[in-house]
Amino acid sequence: MNIQFERAVLGVEFGSTRIKAVLLDENHAELASGDHEWENRLENGIWTYSMEDVWGGLQDAYGKLKAQVKERYGTTITTLGAIGLSAMMHGYMPFNAEGELMVPFRTWRNTITLEASEALMELFQYPIPQRWSIAHLYQAVLNKEPHVPDITFITTLEGYVHWKLTGRKVIGIGEASGMFPIDSSVKQYNAHMLDQFAALPEVKDLPWDIHDILPEILLAGDDAGMLTAEGAKLLDPEGDLMPGIPLCPPEGDAGTGMTATNSVAVRTGNVSAGTSVFAMIVLEKPLSRPHPEIDLVTTPSGEAVAMVHCNNCTSDINAWVHLFRELFASFDVEVDTGRLYETLFKAALSGDKTCGGLLTYNYFSGEHVTGLEEGRPMLVRMPDADFSLANFMRANLYSAVGALKTGLDILFKEEEVKVDRIYGHGGFFKTEAVGQKILAAAMDAPVSVMATAGEGGAYGIAILAAYMLQKKDGETLEQYLNERIFKDAACVTIQPDPEDVVGFDAYIEKYAKGLAIEKEAVEQLK
């Protein structure tokens, strides 16, 4: 096979547990992929990844993709049509004039900025979640952290990697909308709110100006720079990859998820469910008022989006699967991990609609939607509960999207937001029909899953790179996705089962009452 690498696109996503690289040809078909597993660490009370892990993981994922290309096609990658970078949204990475990261990377998972978050929401009259970059910055100011006066630039993970590969301090508007509020009418940071922040008593005498330290905003399709010689060596230490390859604007996992599921148009939405879970609904009109549980972000093209983001989704399920694997291993039985997940997920479908009296909380970390600053994974049951495998797994799957449902009920029931279609993607949907059926019950709405559901992020940023490379004059991202990517895409839609909806509502009522137990566990288990 003769690959035209100058028309191929590379997408890389730094996910919570995996760095994924995917190579697509000019027709958006996958040529090769590579990945690297990693995990965040809790160090001195901060959830973080080291920069050594960032670069080592990137090089490993790309190296595996490169080796796969060599094995499959007998050739070595030396150039590409375009590259795109994506990562977990939000977080805090402050740099000084020498370009040094001054504190360990603070990820989205940290819930340590409550004071700043509440103060900024009051100031702006706009939801500012704890994980947003501006909340982290202001909390560092309030805490009088020693690094604050030396800040010259703040960015997020993909913004940092993009900067080092291209030399440009830019960010896609979708990711920017998780750093600081966006004015969708002009598709830039909200100028009035920038001025408000700059005038804060704790901020105005600092040696920097908020207007100057945020990355430049770019829209989908914009030129975001080219791979430098130094960047090429960072990505491919073997030296085969040549500089000069264009990069698209770096985007967060929310933006790539919308792209991968064709959910960038008004009245469309998607749910990304993996280590964390979030729902994105593209709005046709503004919400009536700010809601602390609802983020206001944008599509990669700058359209307003309501987002419900929850820190916890599948981590507790993963922990239980690991325990079951240990059990099998103790009997010298080797079980394929994929098959184990599939078997356990499918078992949930035969469980009682209300989980037989079982109640679980998947809170590895805090959950702002339900008011938890920390988490304690927990299983609670009455002595006479029906403690079966099916009910146990159903409760875990309900819990995985329990906090999400809490936030979505505000959008659908209070704000009466309308959605024409919802797409699911991420690991939660890998087992056929199960995750879809559970989410359809939670949302009381049909949920569709495409063939790319398990690999949303890397695929989505590769598509954004392809859009930059291939778009025609005046062709919008929505048009590009509809007409070139998803026109004939295979899609499976599941309607909500009325009995499942009633069962989930009953479960969530008990879940809400049981939050007092979770809060007490946080207080008592230190």
Q: Answer yes or no: is pLDDT of 6 > 80.
A: yes
List own/partner pairs for 468-474 with CB under 8 A and 24 or more apart: 468/82, 468/84, 468/220, 468/221, 468/222, 468/223, 468/224, 468/246, 468/248, 468/249, 469/7, 469/9, 469/81, 469/82, 469/246, 470/26, 471/221
Collapsing DSSP to helix, strand or coil, 189 comes out as strand
**Mean pLDDT, range 6-12, rounded to an integer:** 97
What is the pLDDT confidence band of residue 153, given thresholds at 50, 70 and 90?
very high
d(CA 160, CA 324): 39
- Confidence (pLDDT) at 192: 98
Most confident of 291-300, 439-448, 508-517: 508-517
Most confident of 448-452, 456-460, 498-502: 498-502
Q: Answer yes or no: is pLDDT of 81 > 90.
A: yes
* pTM, entire model: 0.82
For the structural domain made of 261-310+404-493, what CATH number should be given?
3.30.420.40
pLDDT, tens only, 170-206: 999 999 999 999 998 899 999 999 999 999 999 999 9
Mean pLDDT of the residues in the chain: 94
| Ranges of each domain in the chain | 261-310+404-493, 315-400+499-524
Q: Answer yes or no: is pLDDT of 322 > 80.
A: yes
Find the range with the poorest average confidence among 5-14, 163-172, 236-245, 292-301. Answer: 292-301
Tell which residue, 19, 8, 2, has the closest CA to residue 63.
19
Task: Residue count of the chain, please give it.
Answer: 526
Percent of the chain with pLDDT over 90: 85
- Confidence (pLDDT) at 368: 83
Percent of the chain with pLDDT over 70: 99
